[in-house]
Amino acid sequence: MDKYIPKMYKKSILDINYDTLKEKNIKCLMFDLDNTTLKVHKSIPKKEICDLIKKLKINFKVFIISNNTSKKRLSVAADCFGVEYVRFALKPFSRGFRKVKNKYNFSKDEMCIIGDQIMTDVLGGNRYGIYTVLVDPLSNDELKVTGFNRFFENRKLKVLAKRGLFKKGEYYG
């Protein structure tokens, strides 16, 4: 059950204490794109998000890692941030994580995934053995495939809340 529970949970990527991640010796931050760093129906990220990621690049190697297959969408956003991206990452499977790990020779305990979905970002990261951070989605608008994942996520959330293990809106870490 704990593979569905993030190590850290914050309202948005703007609320994360990145010094804490640095103290944990994390060197590689992999951000999900849709509804984590960019609203689903927007193509250009907000300035405050771009500014944050640019600042993070001083202390971390930063990536956008997305299940989205659109090269155009990924490249426009990644260009705004000035970072590399992996599309078609197949989270919760390890394809995208492995790509980053192998290219830069990170160890798993130096890597962190930050995303808005339990069934892809958190489950994928926990299974792969890296640090996981969950944030709330930037908007209620979602892709069709995400609606499908949310159905399972909501069922999982009910069980986790019932057992007192995790509750949406109760931030920690």
Residue span binding Mg ion (CB under 5 A) among the ranges 35-43, 68-76, 87-95, 160-168:
35-43
The yes or no reply on residue 32 touching Mg ion (CB under 5 A) is: yes
Strand partners, 85: 64
Which amino acid is located at 88 in the chain? F
In terms of CB distance, is 26 or 64 closer to Mg ion? 64
Strands 28-31 and 61-65: parallel
Minimum separation from the CB atom of position 105 to Mg ion (A): 27
Helix (H) or strand (E) run with residue 75 in it? helix 71-81
C-beta of residue 65 within 8 angstroms of C-beta of residue 100? yes
How many residues of this chain interact with Mg ion, rule: CB under 5 A?
4
Cα separation, 4 vs 89, in Å, equals 19
- Contact flags string 66-105 toward Mg ion, x per CB under 5 A: ----------------------------------------
The yes or no reply on residue 116 touching Mg ion (CB under 5 A) is: yes
The yes or no reply on residue 142 touching Mg ion (CB under 5 A) is: no
Minimum separation from the CB atom of position 29 to Mg ion (A): 15
Q: Assign 147 to helix, strand or coil.
A: helix
Cα separation, 158 vs 67, in Å, equals 25
Out of 6, 16, 21, 34, point to the residue binding Mg ion (CB under 5 A): 34
Say which DSSP state 67 is in.
Answer: S
The yes or no reply on residue 110 touching Mg ion (CB under 5 A) is: no
Footprint of Mg ion (CB under 5 A): 32, 34-35, 116
